[in-house]
Amino acid sequence: MSGRILVVDDVKANVRLLEARLGAEYFEVRSAVSGAQALEILADWPCDIVLLDVMMPGLDGFEVCRRIKTDPRLAHIPVVLITALDRSEDRIRGLRAGADEFLTKPVNDVALVARVRNLIGLKRLTDELRLRAQTGSQFGLSSDFDPAGEMPASLLIVDDRPTSAERLAGALSRDYDVAVEPSAAQALLSASNGAYDTILINLRMASYDALRLVSQLRSLDRTRLVPIVLIADADDTGRVTRALDLGVNDHVVRPIDKTELAIRVRTQVSRKRAIDRLSADVEQTLAMAVTDPLSGLRNRRYLETHLASELRQAVEADLPLALMLVDIDHFKRVNDLHGHDAGDGVIRDVARRLRSHTRSLDLACRFGGEEFVMLMPETDLEKAAGIAERLRKIIESEPFRLPSADEILVTVSIGVAVFQGSGDSGSAMLKRADQALYRAKAGGRNRVELEAGEGASAQPLTGGTSGRTARIG
């Protein structure tokens, strides 16, 4: 994985060493010799990560990090503080300034490269989600949905050493809902079924290889993006480096400072919820892009893609496929007599009835205007005719309530077509259904017609108006 790295250090020898090491891994590296210069470069050069020395004249690393993390344009860029300071209070100060990692000199080259790759990978995932969400927002498709809400965060501690697990739970249970699981197998099951915001794993579990558990968690869709924090010992550098390659987000070294642990966990929880929010926005944006806003049904764009997929499956599995085209009778008259709000209400109610009286494998779409399409897999012509007639009767039987509190009776005409085999196409099916629909309209409306002229006519309407109920069609 390549990427752009900004190295900030007032000692040129340190800069040259980092440039050489990172350049050997094919990273694109730029350097700055002061905090002020670093901020100037970041304003014009979009990098993937900043490696920042702490002890510099003028703006020190803590202040530069704070300014990066409080700038909305730069806050998503990971910052790694590199310093000779090794006290717990120095690490805590750096983490509080917003640093993503705090490395003490001399830095192990392998560990540095692993951490850089790890943070760049996480940034690119977030960047992709942000870009998709921003694209949807530009088209007015963004969502205000917040999956986090006010619910407290949930943590899972995986540790088969009771004393160690008890200490971790005690340090975190005041601020989080904490679950402890000593069994790796049960932890994997619990994590895949649960909704944890962060998972903490003891790297030195006695009964199971913690790195294998990390790999398994990263292989499951449900847990792929859940942050993982390792609890390691000072001499676990090699295994921590391997864990970073496997996708671990962070680690805490024993003896554990409770404040440092709390800050690192809070950072991971915040990131998880930010990613959840972005993912929800993206999913909502995609759903809205293929959903008709008035009826709530899938739109014509989605139908075209889905119909092509269903045609392929029908050919491969040698199964029937039916399609019906539904048109509201005399819809223009509804708009002319009762207004467009009434017409919109009729469209929504027809859509509701179509959706609530079809199988889960069927697809109802708004085709345009007052027309709807129902796609029915594993359905032959005879069965489709029965379904169409049942839907016709359901729509006819119940009055539609208007915004004015009046009620009207609305009817539909339906044309039905079926897949004719590997030489057939979606556009041809729609054309045959449209021709059948035209015959239903010409035959008096409120009826079902099948392709090839085989009709299943509805009974004519009987009776007159009752009370404030008007009859349309």
11 has a pLDDT exceeding 70: yes
Sequence letter at residue 34: S
**29: its two tokens:** 């590296």
465 has a pLDDT exceeding 90: no
370 a catalytic residue: yes
**473: its two tokens:** 């069609």
Strands 371-377 and 363-368: antiparallel
How many angstroms separate the CA atoms of 53 and 15, rounded? 10
Q: What is the pLDDT of residue 456?
A: 46
Half-sphere exposure of 371 (CA within 13 A, CB side): 14
Q: What is the pLDDT of residue 139?
A: 44
Q: How far is CA 375 from CA 107, 184, 351, 363, 415, in A?
A: 62, 45, 14, 5, 12
**178: its two tokens:** 């904490």
Q: What is the pLDDT of residue 312?
A: 92
**173: its two tokens:** 């249970």
278 has a pLDDT exceeding 90: no
How many angstroms separate the CA atoms of 107 and 116, rounded? 12
pLDDT band at 133 (very low <50, low <70, confident <90, very high): low
Q: Between 245 and 465, name the one with better pLDDT.
A: 245
457 has a pLDDT exceeding 80: no
Per-residue pLDDT of 380-418, as tens digits, reads: 999 999 999 999 999 999 999 888 878 999 999 999 999
260 has a pLDDT exceeding 80: yes
Per-residue pLDDT of 298-313, as tens digits, reads: 999 899 989 999 999 9
In 220-339, where does DSSP find H-type helix? Answer: 237-246, 258-289, 300-317, 331-338
Residue-averaged pLDDT of the chain: 89
Lowest mean pLDDT among 216-225, 244-253, 260-269, 447-456: 447-456
Domains 1-107 and 138-289 share a fold: yes
- Please give the share of the chain, as a percent, with pLDDT higher than 70: 90
Question: One of 101, 370, 449, 451 is an active-site residue; which one?
Answer: 370
Per-residue pLDDT of 74-119, as tens digits, reads: 999 999 999 888 788 999 999 999 999 999 888 888 889 999 999 9
Q: Which of 301, 255, 212, 257 is nearest to 89 (CA)?
A: 257
Can you say whether residue 137 is alpha, beta or left, with left for phi > 0 and alpha for psi between -120 and 50 degrees?
alpha
pLDDT band at 132 (very low <50, low <70, confident <90, very high): low
pLDDT band at 467 (very low <50, low <70, confident <90, very high): very low
Q: What is the CATH code for 138-289?
A: 3.40.50.2300
Q: Does domain 300-471 have CATH number 1.10.287.980?
A: no
Q: What is the pTM of this model?
A: 0.66
Neighbour count for residue 215 (Cβ, 10 Å): 13
Q: What is the pLDDT of residue 17?
A: 93
Q: Which residues contact 257 (CB under 8 A, 6 or more apart)?
A: 88, 91, 92
Q: How far is CA 235 from CA 203, 238, 239, 293, 387, in A?
A: 11, 8, 9, 58, 69
In CATH terms, the fold of domain 1-107 is Rossmann fold (3.40.50)
Q: Which of 203, 426, 446 is nearest to 328 (CA)?
A: 446
Backbone angles phi, psi at 76, to 5 degrees: -80, -5
Per-residue pLDDT of 338-386, as tens digits, reads: 999 999 999 999 999 999 988 889 999 999 999 999 999 999 999 999 9
How many angstroms separate the CA atoms of 425 and 295, rounded? 27
Q: What is the pLDDT of residue 105?
A: 87
Q: What is the pLDDT of residue 150?
A: 52
Quickly tell me which residue has 């000593």 as its tokens.
Answer: 182
Q: What is the pLDDT of residue 472?
A: 52
279 has a pLDDT exceeding 90: no
Quickly tell me which residue has 């350049």 as its tokens.
Answer: 23
pLDDT band at 423 (very low <50, low <70, confident <90, very high): confident
In what side-by-side order are the strands of the sheet with 79-83?
Answer: 28-32, 4-8, 49-53, 79-83, 101-104
Q: What is the pLDDT of residue 460?
A: 38
Q: What is the largest CA-CA distance in the chain?
A: 96
Quickly tell me which residue has 């809902």 as its tokens.
Answer: 177
268 has a pLDDT exceeding 50: yes
297 has a pLDDT exceeding 90: yes
How many angstroms separate the CA atoms of 366 and 331, rounded? 15
For helices 331-338 and 340-356, the axis angle rounded to 10 degrees is: 140
**269: its two tokens:** 């929880």
**Would you list the domain boundaries of the chain?**
1-107, 138-289, 300-471
Q: Which of 313, 286, 312, 290 is nearest to 301 (CA)?
A: 290
What is the three-class DSSP state of 4?
Answer: strand
Backbone angles phi, psi at 287, to 5 degrees: -65, -40
DSSP 8-class letter at 451: G
Per-residue pLDDT of 21-67, as tens digits, reads: 999 999 999 999 999 999 999 999 989 999 999 999 999 999 999 99
